[in-house]
Each structure stands twice: as structure tokens, then as C-alpha cells.
Amino acid sequence: MKNIIKLNQKNLAEISKEIPTPTYNRSQLKTGIVHVGIGGFHRAHEAFYTDQLLQDESITDWGICGVALLDFDTKIYNTLKEQDGLYTLIIKELDGTHTKRVIGAITDYLFAPENPGKVIEKMASPDVKIISLTITEGGYNYNEATQEFDFSNPLIQHDLKNPQAPKTIFGYLTQALKLRKERGLKGCTIQSCDNIQGNGHMAKRMLMSYVQTAEPELTDWIETNVSFPNAMVDRITPATSALDIETLKQTSGIDDAWPVVCEPFKQWVIEDDFIAGRPAWETVGAQFVKDVVPYEKMKLSLLNAGHSVLGILGALYGYSTIDEAASNADISSFLRIYMGNEVTPTLGDLEGVNLKNYKFSLIQRFGNTYIKDQIERICSQSSAKIPIFILPTVYKQLEQKGSINHAAFIIAAFAIYSLGQNEFGTQLIIKDAMEAELNEKAIASQNNPTAFLELESIFGTLKNDETFVKAYNEAYLNIVQNGIEKSVKDINSNVLNDI
Ligand code: CS2
């Protein structure tokens, strides 16, 4: 039985006998980055890249302060506090081995609901050059139906009335930028790391909408002093399980309350537009490019949409992990046809990218049996994901009169999924900000399938498109009448099965 050691700064020397730990002097790092949303993804991605970089001890400007924004984030905040910002990253390799290291890039952490003023001050600190975000697709407060910032959100209304004690990212950024301006400080970069097409543009457009109402005289200053680079981010990071925590204890003797598990693959393609400077992330594998749009499109419409396809179909088949769904021959054919026939024709030429290899590598990544990515995680917040991951493909294919049958099938499967139970009687755990509306329309769809498409904040005006509605209705009825397995076989039949 191994001696178990708690993960914290004091125990690092002892822990380094088991796995690599930060060798740089953490206490000397300045906070150059404030990151909002310190979930698994940030800790497997930006914080990982930054940790790699900091191993060059001459680099001392880029420590990260992690901000937990929501009440719900109290657990991660407390964990980081107890562990001095340290955590173990466990990379699950394709051969089943684990590569582990303690990541030290997060040197400070704040819990916004406890002390909003402190977060605003930190964001306005002269040392801070970048405020990066993983606030999820839904966090941008964009309304698909109006294509505008959603002022009807009660939290936004709260922030407008309580500028010093905000609850949303928009309230925080506005106050922090206002302080920077008032104090004659330089601006900074706001760097989105979320899965949104043009994530930097989206961050800017949504923030500017808010600022125009909350602090109109700040808009010009932001235009000149703040940059919003777009980026494509990628690393599959499932939720940490109790087994992951226990295995780390048993194999390395490390008591870490919240390690992060992820796949070996990682990618970060960023537009080089950092108004106040940036870490040399390119020295540790990030790519800086002029135009990131093609990379984003490729990743969102193949990887993220591929995940949603496997997640939604997987749930209806009764699977609980992505690799299980990916190993089902019919689901896998479905995915390959969707990628090949429906997504690929929308992507155009991607300079420097071998699309076929990319798609093959996705199939391999989805099938990694050691990752055990939860279908529940993938399907969570689908109401925000579908408009970003799948619908752009549908719109483009409708415009160019390409096939949309598999996409329409997925939307029909999502309507059935939203009933909260699959045909085998398994309860589906639906975690979605629109859970109630989804369920209400899913029930109405049992008599009239198109009722589901009335959810305008997801589907916009798609319910008026005859081609789409026809394919959707057929798929819906096929699933209900013949069951998911037969209907997936049916829709795949007679289509060339190649990505
Ligand atoms: C997933 C992503 O949330 C989702 O539905 O597709 O979290 C995905 O795992 C990451 O974007 C991978 O880079």
C-alpha cells in the first residue's frame, strides 16, 4: 500500500519522486492572465500549455489567476485553494497508459460570488495582459432567434442595476475595463477559448452590446485598447470520475481532490492579435495564424458536431460513453456519412489541412476506450451546442442544395431524446438551461413532430424550410415507428459509406 500524500505546494518535493511536478518558482510568477471558468477544459488546455512554457524559468510574467464565476463553482474554488492551485493532469494515452504531471500555472484563484470587487480589481491590474474565458457556448448570452445579445436574461438585468456586484462575465469585464480606462492603464486582450465560430468576434459583439447600454462612454476606449482574437481550441476532457481520483491515489500515492483527465491530442490555433503582449505559446505547440476561421469551422462542424451525433444517438441506444457509441457499426456509419456527405461539402478548401486525415483521426479519438467520455457531458446544454455545431452545416447545405438527411435525423433524435427517456425505458439525464422548454416541445411533438422546431432560440426559422421539415418529419416518424436501431440502418442504407 502506497504512502498517500496530499497535493499541495509544501508536498511537491515528495510528490516529484512519483510524477513530474513544476520545477519553476511559482511564488515569483506575476499574474499575467486572469482566466474565467476553471473547469477541466481550461486545466487540460491553456493552463497545460502555460505550464509547459513556464518550465523556462526566465519566463515570469504569465502566472494564471483562475476565477470561479458562478455559485455552482464553489467546489473547484475550494479545491484549488486547499491545493495551492495545483492539480494533476492525467493524460490517457491510446495504449491505456497514463502520463501524469502536476500543473503549477494557476498561482492565484478567486471566487467571484464571495468577493466581486476583488475580481474586478484583479482584472484591472496593470500586470494582467490577458483575460481568457471558458464560459461555455451558452455563456455568451446570444439569442439565436434575434441574433442579438439577450437583455431579457434576469442576470443581465441584475448586472445593469448592480454594476459593482455583477453576476455575469459582461458585468465584470465592463467594470474592469472602466477601471483601466479611469486609471489611465493600458488595455488588454479578451481571449475566448469556447467552442463558437468566431469566438473572439462573438465575445466582442456581445460585450459591446452590453457596454453600449451599461457604460456607453466606454465603447470607444474598448475599440482602441482591447483586442479579441479568435481561436480554435481542442482537447477532449471528460468529467473526472471517482475512479480517476482513486486510481491516482493507488498508483502514485497522490491525494488530489480534483485531478483532470484528458486525451493525448491537443490543438490550439490562435489569431495573433494580443494588444498587450502574450506568452510565446508557439514554443510549446500552439499555432498562431492570420485567419483561424477555417480551423474553427472544421473543428466545430466535425469534432463537436460528431460528439453531438454520438451523444444523442448513443443516448437513444442506451449507451453511456462516447466510445461505446462510436464502436457501434451503425452509429459509426451514420457519423461517417454525416461527415462525408453533409459536413465536408460545406468546408471548402482548408489550406494546409488534410481533411481526410483529420476525419480519420477524429474517428480514432472518439473510439479511445480509455477516455470514457460521458454521453451525459456531451448532451448537456445541447440547446446551446446544436445551433453552433450542427445548424451551420444545415443552412449551408440547404443553400447549396446538398444533402441534409442525416442532420435532420439528428435533430429528430434530439426531439425524442428531450422526452427524457429512451425507447428501452432508460431515464436520460438532461442538463440544459432550456430543459423545461425542450421537454414541453418534445411532448407536443408526439402529436405534431414539427412542434419541436418552434423553439426559435435554437432553430430560428428552420421550421419554414420545406426541405428540412420533410426530412425531419420522415426521420421522426421512422424512429418512433421502427425504433432507433432500425431507423439508423434505414437512413444509412444506399448512401456511400465513406468519410
Ligand atoms: C464537446 C467538447 O462539449 C462538447 O459537446 O464536443 O467539450 C469537446 O470535447 C471539446 O471541444 C474538445 O476539444
In a domain, 415, yes or no: yes
- What confidence category does residue 348 fall into, taking pLDDT thresholds of 50, 70 and 90? confident
The rounded Å distance from CA 396 to ligand 1 centre is 22
**19-44 mean pLDDT:** 98
If asked whether residues 305 and 277 sit together in one domain, one would say no
Alpha carbon 162 to chain centroid, angstroms:
29
Quick one: which atom of ligand 1 is closest to the CA of 385? 5
One domain for residues 281 and 358: no
Read off the pLDDT of residues 436-459 as tens digits, 9 standing for 90 and up: 999 999 999 999 999 999 999 999
Whether the predicted pLDDT of 246 surpasses 80? yes
Count of domains observed in the chain: 2
Please state the rounded mean pLDDT for residues 184-203: 97
- Do 305 and 201 have their domain in common? no
Residue 479's CB is within 10 A of a number of other CB atoms, namely 24
499 domain residue, yes or no: no
Q: Is the pLDDT of residue 64 over 80?
A: yes
143 & 248 share domain:
yes
Q: How many C-beta atoms lie closer than 10 Å to residue 182's C-beta?
A: 11
Q: Phi then psi for 149, rounded to 5 degrees?
A: -65, 140
Q: Is residue 498 part of a domain?
A: no
Per-residue pLDDT, averaged over 452-474, amounts to: 96
> For residues 387 and 308, is the Cβ–Cβ distance under 8 A?
no
Task: Supply the residue whose CA is at minimum distance from atom 7 of ligand 1.
Answer: 236
Whether 358 and 473 map to the same domain: the answer is: yes
CATH number for position 300? 1.10.1040.10
The residues lining ligand 1, judged by C-beta closer than 6 Å to any ligand atom, are 195, 234-236, 304, 307, 378, 385
- What's the CA-to-centroid distance between 336 and ligand 1, angstroms? 18
The per-residue b/e assignment along 197-222, b for 16 or more CB within 10 angstroms, e otherwise, is bbbbebbbbbbbbbbeebbeebeebb
Distance between Cα 40 and ligand 1 center (Å): 11
- Using an 8 Å Cβ cutoff, are 84 and 8 in contact? yes
Q: Is residue 306 part of a domain?
A: yes
pLDDT at 408: 98
Residue 58 covered by a domain: yes
All cell numbers assigned to 344? 465536408
Beta pairing class for 267-271 and 31-36: unpaired
Does 240 map to a domain? yes
Clarify whether residues 322 and 206 are in a common domain.
Answer: no
CA dihedral defined by 471, 477, 478, 484, rounded to 10 degrees?
110
Cα–Cα dist 164/168, whole Å: 12
- Pocket perturbation via mutation, ligand 1, pick of 304, 309, 381, 383 by most ligand atoms within 8 A of CB: 304
Q: Among residues of the chain, what percentage have pLDDT more than 70?
A: 100
Does residue 325 contact residue 374 with C-beta atoms inside 8 Å?
A: no
Question: Tell me, what's the pLDDT at 145?
Answer: 83
Q: Of 238, 268, 289, which one is at a domain's C-terminal end? A: 289
Atom 9 of ligand 1: nearest residue by CA position? 236
Q: Which of 406, 421, 423, 402 is nearest to 490 (CA)?
A: 406
Do 238 and 306 sit in the same domain of this protein?
A: no
pLDDT for res 498: 73
Is residue 435 located within the same domain as residue 312? yes
Q: How many CA atoms lie within 13 A of 154 on its CB side?
A: 0
Residue nearest to atom 4 of ligand 1 (CA): 378
Query: Which one of 256, 289, 322 terminates a domain?
Result: 289
Q: Within 195-253, where are the H helices? A: 199-214, 219-225, 242-252
Q: Are residues 405 and 461 in the same domain?
A: yes
Cα separation values, 384 from 69, 136, 196, 229, 387, Å = 19, 9, 10, 22, 6
One-letter amino acid for residue 400 of the chain: Q
- Distance CA(468)–CA(449), nearest Å, equals 13
Which residues touch 347 (CB under 8 Å, ≥6 apart)?
294, 297, 298, 301, 355
- For 257-274, write each residue's pLDDT tens digit: 999 999 999 999 999 999
Assess whether 284 and 301 both reside in one domain: no
Domain's final residue, options 289, 308, 331 = 289
On whether residue 497 sits in a domain, the answer given is: no
Range of the domain at 414: 293-492
Nearest CA to ligand 1 atom 6: 304
Q: How far is CA 423 from CA 383, 408, 441, 481, in A?
A: 22, 19, 18, 11
Question: Same domain for 304 and 246?
Answer: no
Q: What is the pTM of this model?
A: 0.96
Regarding whether 222 and 343 lie in a shared domain, the answer is: no
Mean pLDDT over each residue of the chain, to the nearest integer: 96
CA-CA distance, 400 to 165, in Å (whole number)? 48
